[in-house]
Structure 1
Amino acid sequence: MTPKRLQFSSVLALGIILLVTMAFESTEAHMAMLYPPPRGGYGTKEFDWRIHEFIGYKGFKYPCGGYKKGPNTHMKAGQLIPVRFWTTELTKADKLPTKNVPEARHGGGMCEFSLSNDGGKSFHVIAAYTKTCPDVMYEWPVRIPDNVPSCNNPGKCLFAWSWTAALIPQFYHNCADVTIEGSKNGKLPKKTIQLYDFTGHKKGVTFPGDGRSHDRGPGPIPAEVRLASSRKSL
C-alpha cells in the first residue's frame, strides 16, 4: 500500500471511529438538572459536560456528583421553581425546545426534589414526580414550602434533584447552591430522599416508568403537578 493510500486509510478509519464514538455518546446522553443551575451545570463557569452521568460512574460521587460549590440561586418560601432538565443534545437552553430532543430518559422513573441545610449530609423531600420524570421537553414545577427555614450558609444550602431510572438501575443526583428566605421558626420536612444503586445502598432497583427510553415522554402527571405546585407546608 502506498503512503498516500495508507494515510487516507488511517484518516478514514479515524473518521469512522469518531463517528461511532459520537453516536455512542449521543445514545448515552443521560439527564441532568438545568434549572436551578446545579454544580457543574450547563451554562455555568464550572460546567462539566459529564454532569449527566450517574452516581458511581467513573468517580461520580454522592452527594452532588462530587462537584464543589457552584452559582447561587436565591429562593423564597412559597416560591414556585420551574425545574428544567438538560442533555448533551440540548443546544439551546434559554427556553423549552419546540422539537423533540434525543434524551436517554431510561423510560422515566422516580424523581425527588429536596432541600439540604447541612451541605448534603441529609436531603429532605419537598416534591416528587413519578413514571414520566425526567424530560427536557417540559418544566417540572416545585413549590418551596411556606414553612421551611431560612438558609444563608454558602455551600451548605442546597436544592437537589435525584432520579432512580425505570429501565436500568442507575441513580442520578445534582445539587444547586441556594439561599432561602424562609420562615422564622421553619423546619425541613422529615422525609429524606431514597438512595439506591450505588455503593452502600441497595442495588438493582428500578421504578415504574412510561417506557420511552430516548423519546419525548407524556410530561408531568397533572395530579403530581397540582401537588408539587400547591403544597404549602410539609
Structure 2
Amino acid sequence: MQMRFFLVSALAAGTATAHMNMKDPPPLAYKGNPNAKEPNIDYSITSPITEAQYPCKGYLNLLGTAEGASVATYAPGNQYTMSVEGGAAHNGGSCQLSLSYDKGTSFTVIKSFIGNCPTSSGGSYDFTIPSDAPEGDDVVFAWTWVNHTGNREYYMSCAVVTIKAGGAKREVPAVNSKRATAFDSRPKVFQANLGGEYCTKEGVDTVYPEPGPDVENTSTSPGPAIICATGADAPEGSTDSGSGSGSGSSAGAGAGSSSAAATSQAQATSAEAQTSTAQQSTTTAASQPSIPSNILTVIPIGELTSSSTGGVFLTVPASSGAAATPTTLSTAVVASSSSAGAGSSSATTTAAAASSSAATGTATTSAKTPTTTGGAAGTQVGACTDEGAWACASDGSSFQRCASGAWSAAIPMAAGTKCNPGISNTLSMRRRRDRVRRSGTGFPGF
C-alpha cells in the first residue's frame, strides 16, 4: 500500500512538472495569473493541446470576465521579453509569438524562433510589437511550440494584453528585427499535429513554411514541416499568410526569394505577351532598316490613355480577301529622343497597317488632290480617295492620313519636329538638321 501511494504521488508530481507553458505574460487559467480563480485554474497547463482545445487550450471563454482581464500593456514599436517554464523541454524545438484581435479567430505572427525554444530551463525570449500593430484591448498574446523530440505535439499558452501607444517599455537588444512587412501582411500562426494539413518531424527544429519578417534562428538541426497525408515536405510559403514575408533566417529568405521569383516570372510573361502582340499586329518589310532608338520611340497602344493624341483607322482592301472593317492601329509614334546626336543623318522606315492582312493589301498609288480641304493651318477635312496617303499641314505642325475614305483627325507633331507640307505616299519629318522619311507601308502604327 505504501509503495502504491509512492507511485501515485510520483506520477502526479511528474504530470504537474511535465512539458512547458508560457509564464510571462501570465496566461489564462494559469496559477501565476493574478486574475485566475478556482475552479478555472489549470494545474496541467504545461500539457500539449488537442484539436478540440485549439486555440488557447479552450480558455478564451474567459474573455470579457474578471479572469480574462489584461495582464500587460505593450506599445507598438517597443521591445519586451516573454518567458517559458516547465520540466520537459523535449530538446527544444521551434516557437512562435502571435497576436489575435478577433478573440482567437486568427493569430498574426510577430516573431518566430527556430531551434532552442524552449531551453531545458524554459528560457526568456525577446520580441518587438510591430510599429504598425493596431491598438486594442483584450488582445490575445499567444505562445505556440512544436517540440524537437518526443510525441508529435502542439503546445499553446495565451495571455490577454493591451496594445496601446505609450505602454510600459522594457529595454532589450533587438534581434533580427525587420519592419518592412505591414502587420496585415504577416503570416498566420502555424498549426501542426492537430489533425489538420501539417505535421512535424521528430528530431528536427521545425522551419516554419511562413516564419514572418522577424526570425531568430539558432538551430543546429533544422527541418521542414511535412504534409500529414503524404509525408512530403511542406513547401515554403505554403501556409495561410500574407505575401512577401521576408525573415532573418534562411527559411524566411527562401520564402521571400520564392515570392520575388514569382513576381519576376509574371513580369517576364507579361512582357513576352506584349512583345508577341506587337509582332502579330505589325508587318515589317524585310529590307526595312532599323530605326536608331535615339530618333523614334514606339509606344504600344495599350500604354496610351484617353487623353493621348491619335486615332487613325485603315480599311483592309477588298483584294486581300478580308472584310473591309476599320482596324485601329496598334502603335503610336511619339517624339524623337532629346538625346539624338547632332550627327544623325536620316532613317527611312515603312509604315504597316494594323494587321498582316491589311499590310499585304496596302495600295501603292501615287498621291492625289484631296476631295475636300480647308481645315485649320491647311489641314484636310472630309472625304478622300487615296487610301493610305499622308497629308502634312502647311505649317508642318501636324499630319493626317487618308483612311476608310476620310481624312483622319490632325495629329500634332512631336515638340521640335515638323513634317514637310503637302500630300504624298510618304511622310517626311525633320528635327533640327536631321531628316526622317516615312513611306506609306511598313512602319508600325501607320
TM-score normalised by the chain length of structure 1? 0.68
In structure 2, the residue matched to 1:25 is 15
Q: Which residue of 1 aligns with 2:83?
A: 84
Equivalent residue letter for 1:199: G
SS at 1:132's partner residue? coil
The one-letter amino acid of 2:76's match is A
Q: Deviation of residue 201 (structure 1)?
A: 3.8
Q: Is contact 2:146–2:154 with CA below 8 Å preserved after alignment?
A: yes
Residue 182 (structure 1) shift: 5.1
2:43 is equivalent to residue 53 of structure 1: no
1:115 match? 99
**For the Cα contact (< 8 Å) 1:38–1:71, is it kept in 2?**
no
Bigger Cα Rg: 2
> Relative to 1, partners in 2 of residues 1:177 and 1:23: Cα closer, same or farther, differing over 3 Å?
closer
Residue 120 of structure 1, CA deviation: 1.0
Mapping for residues 61-76 of structure 1, pairs under 5 Å: 61-67=53-59, 68-69=62-63, 70-72=68-70, 73-76=72-75
Q: Secondary structure at the match of 2:44?
A: helix
Separation of aligned partners in 2, 1:22 and 1:51: 14
Q: Which has the higher strand share?
A: 2
Deviation digits for residues 121-163 of structure 1 (CA, Å, limit 9, x no counterpart): 11111111111001345310111011111112x3xx1111111
Q: Which amino acid aligns with 1:111?
A: C
Once the two structures are TM-superposed, the CA of residue 15 in structure 1 deviates from its matched residue by 2.6
Distance 1:24 1:137, change over 3 A: closer
**Deviation of the 1:20 alpha carbon:** 3.7
In 2: Cα distance, 1:42 partner to 1:80 partner: 26
- Counterpart of 2:198? 202
Gaps of 5+ in 2: 167-181, 206-216, 220-247, 249-446
The aligned counterpart of 2:186 is: 190
1:163 to 126, 145, 153: 145
Report the alpha carbon displacement of residue 25 of structure 1 after superposing the two structures with TM: 2.5
User: Which amino acid in the other structure matches residue 65 of structure 1?
Assistant: K
Q: Is the 1:39–1:71 contact (alpha carbons within 8 Å) kept by the matching residues of 2?
A: no
Q: 1:104 to 1:208 in 2, by over 3 A?
A: same
What secondary structure, in the 3-state scheme, does the structure 2 residue paired with 1:66 have?
helix
Inter-partner Cα distance in structure 2 for 1:161 and 1:193: 10
CA root-mean-square deviation: 3.0
Does the CA contact (< 8 Å) of 2:15 and 2:44 recur in 1? Answer: no
Deviation sequence 1:152-175 (CA, Å, 0-9, x none) = 2x3xx1111111111131101111
Pair 166,147 (structure 1): closer, same or farther in 2 beyond 3 Å: same
- Inter-partner Cα distance in structure 2 for 1:16 and 1:142: 43
